[in-house]
Amino acid sequence: MYAEERQQRILAEARRVGRVEVTALAESLDVTPETVRRDLTALERRGSLRRVHGGAIPVERLELEPTLAARTTRLTAEKRRIAARALDELPAGGTLLLDAGTTTLAVVELLPPDIDLTVVTNSIAAASILITHPGVTLYLIGGRVRGRTGAAVGDWATEALAGIVGDLALMGTNGFSVARGLTTPDQSEAAVKRAMIASARRSVLVSDSTKAGDAHFHRFGQLSDLDLVITDTDLDDERAAEISSCGPRVVRA
């Protein structure tokens, strides 16, 4: 059993009965207690479980989508390394479809002042920075703006994306896994993300490793839809290999 599958089973059991115990999990999964403790630690880092003495209890994340401001202050060093590596993938003189999110925003913050690029984005925060770059031709996608994430969503956004072809879609996510694909809590944001991937020749995911193995309510793609996943060095070799087996190359920055 892959680590991701094991952790999904642990999380499902925790949500079903309200609590899981290390010794019982080790016996039912036929692994050592140390392996279970590592799985619980990984799930706690992703915010799915809270560790307690001898086990863990579930934390339902679907009702607790953090704001953009709250997420901006988390894992800033990891996001900056991921963003720096993502600069190598930008299409010089081409068209970038830029998703809303804190890691994609970190890419914008690192853009060279003289970059020549056409950017199509639904992120209000990203657009406010991009207008300061004289070499950037900026298209801001319209629609209803979600206050929690600062992203334009809805039919206006998806219809606009359906009418264009971009060189690269630079995507963020709330969770990504072999079993569940690319997921996010909000249906309207999932629709825009799905449209961005469909409109691009290449798709690159930028995401910190705490989201690996996590799953949220709405799926907007599969790992096979991606050409590249850029994450941080905390992603272990086993999980990186699992992701690569679905198609995308994995780079740990």
**CATH number of the domain within which 133 lies:** 3.40.50.1360
Classify residue 63: in a domain, yes or no.
no
pLDDT at 14: 87
Classify residue 111: in a domain, yes or no.
yes
pLDDT at 216: 83
Residue 12 is part of which domain span?
A: 3-58
Strands 49-52 and 55-58, bridge-based pairing: antiparallel
In angstroms, the CA 73 to CA 62 distance is 20
pLDDT one-digit tens code per residue, 12-71? 888 878 789 999 999 999 999 999 999 999 998 887 888 877 888 887 543 456 667 766
pLDDT at 210: 85
Q: How many C-beta neighbours within 10 Å does residue 63 have?
A: 7
The parts of the chain modelled with pLDDT lower than 70 are: 60-67, 70-73
* Last residue of one domain, picked from the residues 12, 37, 58: 58
Q: From 212, 198, 185, 160, select the one nearest 8 (Cα to Cα).
A: 212
For 110, the 3-state DSSP assignment is: coil
CATH code of the domain covering residue 37: 1.10.10.10
* Last residue of one domain, picked from the residues 58, 88, 105: 58
* Last residue of one domain, picked from the residues 14, 31, 58: 58
Look up the pTM and report it: 0.77
Spell out the alpha helix ranges (H) of 18-135.
22-29, 33-45, 68-72, 76-86, 102-109, 124-130
pLDDT at 60: 53
Question: How many structural domains does the chain have?
Answer: 2
13 and 131 together in one domain: no
pLDDT at 61: 43
